[in-house]
Amino acid sequence: KQEVTQIPAALSVPEGENLVLNCSFTDSAIYNLQWFRQDPGKGLTSLLLIQSSQREQTSGRLNASLDKSSGRSTLYIAASQPGDSATYLCAVPRGANNLFFGTGTRLTVIP
């Protein structure tokens, strides 16, 4: 059974710092991995989707990498800002079109 783990559960950093969020999965037979952002009381916003044939994807200050062989993905946030404060979730496919979600990392960027 697939398990998706995100460590740490919570992270606080000062504004301007670069940071890395981690996502581990036990079954490497995935065809993509998706990173989401969730603000308190809000829905999930898709940040990046990495196909299994790709090793990384970039969007603005965000860079996500995927290493299927080691069962790991990282989300790198450059020059963090207070507006980046949110919970970040990774998810891998489950069956045809469903997702296994990690429990998330709650990020706080301190001004």
Among 12, 26, 46, 58, binds another protein (CB under 8 A): 46
> Is residue 44 near another protein by the rule CB under 8 A?
yes
Planar angle of CA 17, 38, 104, nearest 5 degrees? 75
> Is residue 43 near another protein by the rule CB under 8 A?
yes
> Is residue 59 near another protein by the rule CB under 8 A?
no
Structure token pair of residue 10: 């919570």
- Round to whole Å and give the CA distance between 102 and 91: 6
Q: Which residues are near another protein by CB under 8 A?
A: 31-32, 34, 36, 41-46, 49, 51, 89, 91, 93-94, 96-99, 101-104
